[in-house]
Amino acid sequence: MTFTRRTLLAATTALALAPVAALAQDTIKIGEINHYKRMAAFAEPYKMGIELGLKEINDAGGVLGKPLEFIFRDDQGDPAEAVKIAEELMTRDGAVMLTGSILSHVGLALSSFAAEKGYLYLAAEPLADSLVWTSGNPNTFRLRASTWIQAAMLAEEAAKTDAVKYATIAPNYAYGQDAVAAFKENLKRLKPEVEFVAEQWPALFKIDAGAEVQAIERAKPDAIYNVTFGTDLAKFVREGGDRGLFDGRPVYGLLSGEPEYLEPLGDEAPEGWFVTGYPWYGFEDGTAEKAFVDAYMAETGETPKIGSLVGYLDVISIAAAIEKAGATDTDSLIAAFEGLEIPDTPIGTLMYREVDNQSNMGAYVGTLAMQDGKGVMVDWTYKSPDGYMPSDEEIKAMRPAE
């Protein structure tokens, strides 16, 4: 064996035995776990939003002098698979923290895992209130506005009408359950005489829309609160439209105005529903909102979705926290996220509340209308969570003792 070959063999052996952390020094790695195949309509624009943010950050010199890198992994929407991947990302792949997830039951599993193992998890999309309240922990932060916030905005509008009898329909898992409970509590507080005459709980993405529509119609509600999304929403809208369920009845739709779910409806999109969503097509020139839309379209060649915005805000939140921490260990990152403020984002100053690790991201609310053969939000406005959140004392009472 020559000296050159011995040297090469020794170097190769040393490299193979080197700890992951040593191999991860060239970049700062973030473990991103999501349902890329199961929920591609949301997850793919979300990923493109992350990639836009990464490009901007790394083109400007990265974070702490290093490029920021996301490792994207698909969990198939399975909580057990998500937890398995999370462990691999942190112990094998050199990730300094975890982020991602859309479905709330997956997000709750990752949150519990992060608390158990001492990792940091930024829940980008899971909306269940329990994530930061009844099941909250110091290791979990959340970006998107919770079901409570968005449901409270819809309830505020519903309380202005004469409707007294309500029917609800929601997927039967953490997000749907929290969304219905939040709407009921907020609406009853504003209008105590309301009653809920029907509650339908289809399994996620397994809705029997005909049966659900019939059950709601039999209850003769004055108004309907809809929490279905994706393919469930499309089936519910089609069956309800065909059978006249929405005729003469106000409908309040959580997420129903999001492009991911509204655009596939095409000319079947309902009109008159009051919804939360993302009216990217209505932003005015000169605003930060429009600047983001233009940058995203120039980079991807596609129109943005709410997932695009969430992905972008996710990566800039992480970059800002790392810069504030000046380090990548979990304790330093958690301390940096608490009270973190990021000015000049597409939604203004983004901040993470110390009381519950929830961001101050709000929601766009407006009415669905048909324009050029497709559904859009009109008469919309962006509302911050201020005035819709429980008090700090109520939140502290809900969160487990830390």
The pTM is what?
0.92
Assess contact for 112 and 142: CB atoms under 8 A: no
Cα end-to-end distance, the chain, whole Å = 60
Q: Is 125 exposed, middle or buried (0-12, 13-18, 19+ CB in 10 A)?
A: buried
Residue with tokens 């005909």: 210
Domain boundaries, the chain: 11-147+286-362, 148-280+363-383
Per-residue pLDDT of the chain in tens (402 residues, 90 and over written 9): 333 333 333 333 443 444 444 344 699 999 999 999 999 989 999 999 999 999 999 999 999 999 999 999 999 999 999 999 999 999 999 999 999 999 999 999 999 999 999 999 999 999 999 999 999 999 999 999 999 999 999 999 999 999 999 999 999 999 999 999 999 999 999 999 999 999 999 999 999 999 999 999 999 999 999 999 999 999 999 999 999 999 999 999 999 999 999 999 999 999 999 999 999 999 999 999 999 999 999 999 999 999 999 999 999 999 999 999 999 999 999 999 999 999 999 999 999 999 999 999 999 999 999 999 999 999 999 999 999 999 999 999 999 987
Assess contact for 275 and 365: CB atoms under 8 A: yes
Using CA atoms, how far residue 269 sits from 103, 266, 276, in Å, is: 24, 6, 15
Alpha-carbon torsion (35, 263, 378, 345), positive or negative? positive
For 11-147+286-362, CATH number?
Answer: 3.40.50.2300
Cα separation, 124 vs 307, whole angstroms: 9
For 148-280+363-383, CATH number?
Answer: 3.40.50.2300
Q: Where are the beta strands (DSSP E) in 216-296?
A: 223-226, 251-257, 274-277
- The pLDDT of residue 10: 39
Assess contact for 115 and 138: CB atoms under 8 A: yes
Angle of helix 288-300 versus helix 306-325 axis, rounded to 10:
100
Contacts of 189 (CB under 8 A, 6+ apart): none
* CB atoms closer than 10 angstroms to residue 225: 26
Query: Same CATH fold, 148-280+363-383 and 11-147+286-362?
Result: yes
Beta pairing class for 165-169 and 121-123: unpaired
Q: Enter the DSSP assignment of 201.
A: -
- The pLDDT of residue 401: 81
Cα separation, 99 vs 145, whole angstroms: 16
Q: Where are the beta strands (DSSP E) in 201-292?
A: 223-226, 251-257, 274-277
Give the up-direction half-sphere exposure of residue 86: CA atoms within 13 A in the CB hemisphere.
31
Secondary structure of residue 36 in the 3-state scheme: coil
Measured in whole angstroms, the distance separating CA 266 from the mean position of its chain's CA atoms is 24
Assess contact for 209 and 235: CB atoms under 8 A: yes
Could you tell me which residues are beta bridge partners of residue 271?
none
- The pLDDT of residue 25: 63
